[in-house]
Structure 1
Amino acid sequence: MDEPHAMPTIGVDTRVSSSGWADELRASFALAWPLIVAQLAQNLLFTTDVVLMGWLGPQYLAAGTLAGAFLIPFQLTGVGIVGAVAPLVAQARGRGDTKAVRRIVRQGFWVAIAVATLLIPIVLSIRPIYLALGQDPHTTELAESYMQAGFWMLYPVLGIMVVRSFLSAFAATRVILLVTIIGVIANAALAYALIFGHFGFPRLELRGAAIATGLVNVIMFLALLGYVVTHRKLKRFHILARFHKPDWQRFFEILRVGLPIGLTVAAEVGLFSVAAILMGRLGTNETAAHAVALQLASMAFMVPLGLGMAATVRVGLAYGRGDAEGVRKAAWTAIALGVGFMTLTASLFLIIPNTMVALFLDSQNPDNATALMLAAGYLGIAGLFQLADGAQVVAAHALRGLSDTRIPSFLAILGYWFVGLPTAYVLGFVLNWRGTGIWLGLATGLAFVAVLLLARFAMRQRLGLLKGIAATA
């Protein structure tokens, strides 16, 4: 059952060191592109719900948006924590340690269950928290109905991340893409039926949207898990064997690596949430313009995010097999790809911002003129921080491949909350640059974090981040 030197290869062969930069480029791209498309498709799950909730009416849309704004930061924090499974499995695979792979994945499920259980009481507190913040009581009540119907989706969502991390470490990313696309289609159909009461289903409105999304996540989790336990090369890991047996060393190792990742995600998501609140103080047009520019920037961000996920695996594999040169090539290749793509999107944001924002707001409607003008301006600033955004996310993921998460988490919190947010407030409100100042603050925070994380990876040897390789040597 334990075969430490008989590691199966799925998809791209990532067991051996790349012989050159071109080989690393091909391996990284082959691993990353399904993850990139899967991330884009994953975004469509909530986007589909938003569109359908909008058909119910403005108040339902507002309530659904409030529910999502409350749930998603906690959900992403949990996903960040269990995402530690990816670098740990990759390192174990690099070492050829089958037993460690099985134990890490099994304890990953334990961590997912524990984190979801701890988060559920928090997300169910949505009503008193929103009322204390002065939100409309009726809208808050509707948002609470969504949360009460869908809080349990945290379990399959975090479970999916554990299985995805395992599959990514073995370059089996195409199945992740396929299952995610099927999930988007299934969610659209099921949500439509449950929200509006079609095809013989009851009309459940917002509760229907939550139930549909939860059920689809269960289906996606079971599909990915089924693939793992039946695939001829992956089932040999027996990831569910002796599931009841604790392995506290692995459990706390996942938490040690994963908690800082979760804090990093929470810090970044929180920064943009606070930015939205600050925009709300400026007016409706500023808020609408911010939403449009942020949506376009978020879509572009999915590409370096997918490349970062691939970098975590590639760096982790090289680190596990004691290959310092492989670590260097894997990280800088992914960083170059991420910055290269963001150079393209930055050019589009700077050259044709009006065309891009017109995809979201009707330019023929005179009521949208101010929001369109503001959105185009914000998008131009987003173009300026595209390079920093791409660099920081890939660098952070590359460091995760070395299990280096604690200091990067501190640097992210420092950059986002003690540089970016104060700068946004001073420029936006003290100097009265309004929304432009807020966006410049966001850009400053991202650039600060990018420089520090890139410098930390560049100094990895001096900082002792390759001590595992030195010990192996």
Structure 2
Amino acid sequence: MERKHGTGWRAEARVTLGLAWPLALTNLSQHALAVTDAIILGWLSTEALAAATLGANLYWALMAPSLGTALAAGPILAQARGHGQRAGHGRGWVRQMRRGARSALVASLILLVPSLLILWHAGDLLRLLGQDPGLAAAAGTYVRAMMWGLIPFCGFIVLRGFLAAMERPGPALFVTGVAVVANAVFGWLLVFGVGGWHGFGILGAGLASTLANLLMLGGLLLVVARDRRLGRFRLLGRFWRNDPARLREVFRIGLPISGQMLLEIGVFSAAALAMGGFGAVAVAAHAIALQTAALTFMVPMGIGQAATTRVGLLAGAGDLAGARRAGWVAIGLGAGFMLATATLLILAGRTITGAFLNPAEPQAAAAATLGAVLLTIAGIFQLADGVQAVAAGALRGLKDTSVPMLFAALGYWGLGMPIGVGLAFWAGLGPAGLWVGLAAGLGIVAGLMLARWRRLSRESAAAIA
């Protein structure tokens, strides 16, 4: 292994931070795509924002299966590189990384087919789920334009995992930053138009997102092709060749990741659907609070991705004590950041929500006030959210994904959602009650993930002591 993979808590913190900050900024940039859509559509109308929120929640829920298998590239490639850098392993690890990346992409494309078929009928599905027919129709229009960006987005995620395993996260950050600017420009022009042309409205926001995803994939493909060190992997070379063993590994690791993501995305999507019962103001407030909380979550998610890479590299190299240290360092970094953001959300909630809405809109003041209440609750669960994200990333570095999925099922759906529904509808707390339930679910999952990492990492380190 390279010398920088060496020992020491401070050294590990420096290496993890060096890897995590570009990954976190990449996540923030990716999330900025959704935030940009929310801001543009919020200025279009409260109804447009509410419709896009309903559509986006369905979109992310159906994206989870393919995204999970794309994310499986991260731990697979990190462990392959760590194993290959042991003395005497030659260049076979290059072939293994190529096959791993290719299999992750193939698996994602396979799982995208049913998702795209369902998303094409998003409007009808939302009506069947009891949503307002007008909002459901607008959401369907938005999703039909945005859904085609799923294909390039999954390719981007696989390439990002490859670059993270190579400890080269910078290119993904650069191309995502360019895509954010492009999405803002495309979105504004396509939604509102220019000159005498009035634009496409909510349809334009979906088209802009698809164009941004195409730009991200194209940018990374160009980077990999033009870099001699990265190009030697020939990631798309003989793409049609089948590798059943590697494909099975991708599904074994990736499907539980998909399941965990689906459970987490699904609980927030279910909360958004439940918010529909309280009207457009509640849906818009939920959208603002969720976008803001998700924005802060991008940093611990990046730290968790760095933990996957660091733990995977060290575990693949046989340094399990180092892998344990890497996981704990990452968890500490994630917890520290989320404590700081919790303070910000609690103290500045009203100011944050006001930035999302056009003050001339009749319902803007009510949406901003409710959004501030929800952000206060979000501030309370920030620490738990950060810890569970980083601990899950560390566990993925050990290719442990099935049990964390079960933890998510218990925390989010077994306890969190029932508590939220009970508080919202039976106890009369309304939208705030739903968010209290979400906070409880996150706290339970965080505790279980932390305990799982503590046990597995200690057992692994002790086995070679």
TM-score of the superposed pair, with normalisation by structure 1: 0.88
Closer/same/farther in 2, CA of residues 456 and 230 from structure 1, 3 Å limit: same
How has the CA–CA distance of structure 1 residues 84 and 384 changed in structure 2, closer, same or farther, with 3 Å as cutoff?
same
Q: 1:385 aligns with which of 358, 381, 384?
A: 381
Distance (whole Å) between structure 2 residues aligned to residue 370 and residue 211 of structure 1: 30
Deviation at 1:284, TM superposition (A): 5.3
8 A contact 1:381–1:443 mirrored in 2? yes
**Structure 2 match to 1:457:** 453
Aligned counterpart in structure 1 of residue 66 of structure 2, from 58, 78, 89: 78
Equivalent in the alignment of 1:423: 419
- 3-state SS, counterpart of residue 335 of structure 1: helix
Closer, same or farther: CA 138–353 of 1 in aligned 2, 3 Å: closer
Deviation (angstroms), 1:461? 5.0
Q: Partners in 2 of 1:187 and 1:354 — Cα distance?
A: 27
Higher mean Cα deviation, 40-49 or 383-392?
Answer: 40-49
Cα deviation for residue 149 of structure 1 reads 3.5
Deviates more, 1:335-344 or 1:362-371: 362-371
Counterparts of residues 341-356 of structure 1 (less than 5 Å): 341-356=337-352
Give the counterpart of 1:39 among 27, 32, 44: 27
Q: Does 1:441 align with 2:432?
A: no
1:18 counterpart = 2:14 = no
**Cα shift at 1:63:** 3.8
Amino acid in the other structure paired with 2:166 = F
Match of 1:114 in 2: 110
1:154, 1:123 → 2: CA distance? 11
TM-score (norm 2): 0.89
Verify: 1:276 aligned to 2:264, yes or no. Answer: no
67-76 vs 349-358, greater mean Cα deviation: 349-358
> Deviation at 1:263?
0.9
8 Å contact from structure 1 (residues 31, 173) kept in 2:
yes
Deviations 1:335-366 (A, max 9, x none): 00000011111223344544444544689999
Q: What is the CA–CA distance in structure 1 between the aligned matches of 2:143 and 2:207, rounded to whole Å?
A: 10
How far apart in 2 are the matches of 1:436 and 1:234? Answer: 49
Q: Distance in 1 between matches of 2:183 and 2:370?
A: 34
Q: Equivalents in 2 of 1:362, 1:245: separation in Å? A: 53
**Alpha carbons of structure 1 residues 178 and 20: separation in structure 2 relative to 1, 3 Å:** same
SS of match in other structure, 1:234:
helix
| Aligned CA-pair RMSD | 2.9
Secondary structure at 2:7's aligned position in 1?
coil
Task: Name the residue aligned to 1:3.
Answer: none
Taking the TM superposition and a 5 Å limit, the aligned residue runs for 1:122-161 are 122-161=118-157
In the other structure, the counterpart of 2:181 is 185
Gaps of 5+ in 1: 1-6, 8-12
Equivalent pair of 2:51/2:139 in contact (CA under 8 Å): yes
**1:128 positional shift:** 2.4
2:94 equivalent to 1:98: yes
Find the counterpart in structure 2 of residue 218 from structure 1: 214
Secondary structure of residue in 1 paired with 2:228: coil
What secondary structure is seen at the aligned counterpart in 1 of 2:428?
coil
Partners of 2:358 and 2:70 in 1: how far apart? 41
Residue 229 and residue 369 in structure 1: after superposition, are their counterparts in 2 closer, same or farther (change >3 A)?
closer
Deviation at 1:384, TM superposition (A): 2.1
Q: Report the alpha carbon displacement of residue 287 of structure 1 after superposing the two structures with TM.
A: 4.2
Count of matched residue positions in the alignment of Structure 1 and Structure 2: 457
- Residue 384 of structure 1 aligns with an amino acid whose one-letter code is I
* Displacement after TM superposition at 1:61 (Å): 4.2
User: What amino acid sits opposite 2:10 in the alignment?
Assistant: A
Q: Are the aligned partners of 2:57 and 2:272 in contact in 1 as well (CA < 8 Å)?
A: no
Percent pairwise identity: 42
Deviation at 1:57, TM superposition (A): 4.7
